[in-house]
């Protein structure tokens, strides 16, 4: 596919620094995250292989965002460690890490007064020198043009972010992380504020990018059915600990999902077209808005 061809600079960087064939894209070795002594993520061993699409599921407060934070370096491990492409996260410089790993946040890009074109160009920061120049500026511009075309952003390039809808801003955010050309993409509830059209749109674009470029994807989602449609593997967290891991059809059983979210075991049906499990939830008896065991 040519719309996301690696720039020459990126290829050169890969030749100089090839990821070891045997290295997982991301690995955690007893990695934990604590805030003021309170464990948000219990010590976790976890291997994510290159090109895999993982979704992390779990109830509110189960440590999903903290786990993403450990991987992106936004949170420091209180125990254990995280490796990216087989190398300790702590050894990466900021720009070097940004060439390996990008984060697409929940709210996309903030509604600032900068244009979509500027936002895409900002994605190139890990490849620029201190004067803001790239070794091959023409290739970078061609890449941004292809990304804009691919994401149907060409018409919006001169529009300001604060003039876009939430769905368009999330597309622009995706364009920015594509411009970053990472090997690993972290998504924290990327569809939280989007209608169904844009939810599917973002997930499809990420899925295509993964299929064409061998991108590794780790996403936090709340929608189990969306997760089952796109994830190859699921990691289920509760109170910061893994309760299950595996393919959607293995993991998403009514019993596991019922226990995870403290709801009646849902009805499991197969997706008519792709066969993956889909969950139909039953009405709950009123619990005064309080989960058993919650504070």
Find the helix or strand (DSSP H, E) in which 182 lies: none
| Exposure on the CB side of residue 5, measured as CA atoms within 13 A | 12
Query: Token digits for 250?
Result: 């293995």
Find the helix or strand (DSSP H, E) in which 251 lies: helix 248-251
The residues in 30-49 that bind ligand ATP, with binding defined as CB under 6 A, are: 35, 40
- Report the alpha-carbon distance of residue 209 to residue 204 in Å, rounded: 8
Closer residue to ligand ATP (CB): 20 or 60 = 60
Q: At closest approach, how far in Å is the CB of 41 from ligand ATP?
A: 7
Closest CA to 244 of 33, 39, 57: 57
Which listed range, 64-72, 118-126, 175-183, 244-252, lies at the site for ligand ATP (CB under 6 A)? 64-72
- Residue 25 in contact with ligand ATP, rule: CB under 6 A: no
- Residue 265 in contact with ligand ATP, rule: CB under 6 A: no
Q: At closest approach, how far in Å is the CB of 61 from ligand ATP?
A: 4
- Residue 99 in contact with ligand ATP, rule: CB under 6 A: no
Which listed range, 44-52, 56-64, 161-169, 279-287, lies at the site for ligand ATP (CB under 6 A)? 56-64
By CB under 6 A, name the one of 65, 83, 168, 216 that touches ligand ATP.
Answer: 65
By CB under 6 A, name the one of 10, 64, 124, 150 that touches ligand ATP.
Answer: 64
Which listed range, 1-9, 63-71, 132-140, 171-179, lies at the site for ligand ATP (CB under 6 A)? 63-71
Q: At closest approach, how far in Å is the CB of 4 from ligand ATP?
A: 29
Q: At closest approach, how far in Å is the CB of 143 from ligand ATP?
A: 33
- Residue 63 in contact with ligand ATP, rule: CB under 6 A: yes
Check if the beta carbon of residue 143 is closer than 8 Å to that of residue 230: no
Which alpha helices (H) appear in 104-245, and where do they start and end?
A: 116-122, 137-150, 166-179, 196-213, 224-230
- Residue 83 in contact with ligand ATP, rule: CB under 6 A: no
- Residue 61 in contact with ligand ATP, rule: CB under 6 A: yes
- Report the alpha-carbon distance of residue 211 to residue 193 in Å, rounded: 25
Closer residue to ligand ATP (CB): 70 or 116 = 70
Closer residue to ligand ATP (CB): 66 or 199 = 66
Closest CA to 39 of 68, 62, 58, 73: 62
- Residue 72 in contact with ligand ATP, rule: CB under 6 A: no
- Report the alpha-carbon distance of residue 232 to residue 266 in Å, rounded: 21
Residues making up the chain, counted from first to last: 295
Look at the block and give the residue holding tokens 């903290």. 66
- Residue 203 in contact with ligand ATP, rule: CB under 6 A: no
DSSP for 74-138, written as a single string: SS--SEEEEEETTEEGGG--HHHHHHHEEEE-TT-S---SSBHHHHHHHTTGGG--TTS--TTHH
- Residue 66 in contact with ligand ATP, rule: CB under 6 A: yes
Q: At closest approach, how far in Å is the CB of 22 from ligand ATP?
A: 31
What φ, ψ does residue 32 adopt, rounded to 5°? -135, 160
Q: Which residues would be at the binding site for ligand ATP (CB under 6 A)?
A: 35, 40, 58, 60-66
């Amino acid at each position: 596919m040519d719309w996301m061809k690696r720039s020459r600079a990126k290829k050169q960087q890969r030749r100089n620094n090839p990821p070891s064939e045997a290295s997982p894209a991301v690995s955690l070795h007893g990695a934990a995250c604590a805030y003021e002594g309170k464990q948000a993520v219990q010590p976790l061993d976890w291997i994510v292989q290159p090109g895999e699409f993982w979704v992390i599921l779990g109830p509110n407060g189960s440590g999903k965002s903290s786990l993403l934070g450990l991987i992106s370096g936004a949170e420091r491990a209180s125990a254990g460690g995280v490796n990216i492409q087989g190398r300790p996260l702590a050894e990466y410089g900021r720009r070097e890490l940004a060439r390996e790993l990008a984060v697409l946040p929940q709210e996309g890009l903030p509604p600032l007064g900068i244009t979509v074109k500027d936002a895409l160009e900002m994605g190139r920061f890990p490849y620029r020198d201190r004067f803001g120049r790239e070794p091959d500026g023409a290739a970078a511009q061609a890449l941004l043009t292809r990304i804009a075309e691919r994401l149907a952003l060409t018409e919006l390039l001169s529009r300001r972010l604060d003039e876009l809808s939430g769905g368009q801003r999330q597309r622009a955010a995706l364009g920015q992380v594509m411009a970053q050309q990472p090997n690993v993409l972290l998504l924290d509830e990327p569809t939280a504020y989007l209608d169904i059209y844009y939810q599917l749109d973002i997930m499809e674009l990420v899925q295509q990018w993964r299929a064409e470029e061998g991108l590794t994807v780790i996403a936090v989602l709340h929608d189990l059915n969306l997760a089952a449609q796109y994830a190859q593997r699921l990691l289920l967290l509760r109170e910061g600990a893994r309760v299950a891991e595996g393919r959607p059809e293995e993991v998403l059983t009514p019993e596991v999902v019922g226990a995870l979210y403290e709801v009646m075991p849902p009805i499991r049906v197969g997706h008519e077209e792709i066969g993956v499990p889909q969950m139909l939830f039953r009405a709950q008896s009123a619990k005064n808005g309080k989960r058993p065991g919650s504070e």
